[in-house]
């Protein structure tokens, strides 16, 4: 089943390679979407693909890259509206 997840990651997640970590993970899992820094210091991930693979990404995002300190992850699953062709850093 194909799903879209909007994920907000809170903590020390900017300036630690978090967006590149997410992009590499998404590409390895064959997922599409985007990742971007938000002005409040959070990171927003929009990811589309097979539900089990999206869950794998969410599991890894909760851990984060080496220098990140993930404090909270909020996930909203929804139906796919706009289809992404690849995974981008915005």
CA distances 57 to 8, 32, 35, 39, 52, Å, are 13, 11, 12, 23, 9
Annotated catalytic residue within 19, 28, 71, 86: 19
Structure tokens at 84: 């992404």
Active site residue 27: no
DSSP 8-state symbol, 31? -
Annotated catalytic residue within 24, 27, 37, 86: 37
Compute the distance between CA of residue 71 and CA of residue 32 in angstroms, rounded to an integer. Answer: 25
Active site residue 37: yes
Active-site residues, by number, are: 19, 37
């Amino acid at each position: 089943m194909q799903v879209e997840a909007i994920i907000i990651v809170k903590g020390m997640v900017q300036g630690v390679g978090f967006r590149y970590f997410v992009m590499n993970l998404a590409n390895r899992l064959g997922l599409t979407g985007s990742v971007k820094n938000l002005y409040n210091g959070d990171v927003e991930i929009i990811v589309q693909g097979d539900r089990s693979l999206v869950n794998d990404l969410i599991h890894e995002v909760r851990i984060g890259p080496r220098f990140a300190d993930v404090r909270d992850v909020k996930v909203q699953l929804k139906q796919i509206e706009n289809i992404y062709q690849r995974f981008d850093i915005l």
